[in-house]
Amino acid sequence: MIKPPIRAICFDLDNTFWDVWPVIRRAEQLMYEFLSERYPKVVAALTIEAMREAREETAARHPQMKHDFTFLRKQTLREHAEEFGYAEGMVEEAFEIFIRARNEVELYDDVIPGLERLRRRFRLFTATNGNADLEQIGLKHLFERTTSAREVGALKPDPLIFHKAIEGTGLAMHEVLYVGDDPELDVAGARAAGMQPVWIDRIGTTDWPQEIEPPALTVRTLLELVAHLEGSV
């Protein structure tokens, strides 16, 4: 059971507020189409899959930057520009196409009504590994603070990102629920940091990793979380 008092709720973003992989695939496709028009030598030599593999290789060469997905994408584009004889300007132009589409998400139907009801009673925060921009998406006004791995310098499940999310707020870690979709990054990570984890299982997963202790609460939607909290906290 969730242990009161609960004074705040911190949320993951990708696959918690929206389905991220269609968004990423579309963003990569639009960037690839842009490159084919403006920087065709890149596309003539590399498929989208090859560009993804190159980005993984970049991450392997820069382990100290694994928390910064923006850096990894830009650095990979920079290497492509150098390889095919294009100016540095290609990097920002191509990344701008990607990041604009990256922030064109389709929110799950329950997200806005759920957040609006939750913020009547709780302070709301976010902590994400990704590089979504809640201001561009139109959700930033609902949160007291938004925190990203890029800003903190650490990826979930590192406790640092959870601690930074509420640093200086006067909140104790155990007074905060952390809601996310990933058993390791979100549930185990939040628990290790001292928050109370809630698993949001939007797809009805039946398998839970045996090595991870299940959370006290699992919900399918934010409105289900609202109903639980209104009845018990």
With contact defined as beta carbons under 8 Å apart, do 216 and 196 qualify?
yes
Residue 102: predicted pLDDT: 98
pLDDT of residue 171: 98
Contacts of 220 (CB under 8 A, 6+ apart): 200, 201, 202, 204
CATH numbers and ranges of domains, the chain: 8-18+106-232 (3.40.50.1000), 21-102 (1.20.120.1600)
Q: Which of 82, 97, 101, 158 is nearest to 127 (CA)?
A: 158
How far is residue 131's CA from residue 164's CA, in Å, rounded to a whole number? 17
Question: How much is the pLDDT for 163?
Answer: 98
Tokens of 94: 């191509």
What residues in the chain have per-residue pLDDT under 50? none
Question: What is the model's pLDDT at position 74?
Answer: 98
d(CA 115, CA 22): 23
For residue 173, which of 156, 158, 191, 188 has the smallest C-alpha distance?
191
Closest CA to 127 of 4, 6, 9: 9
| Cβ neighbours of residue 58 closer than 8 Å, sequence gap 6 or more | 72, 75, 76, 79
Cis peptide before 157 (omega within 30 of 0): yes
Q: Name the pTM for this structure.
A: 0.95
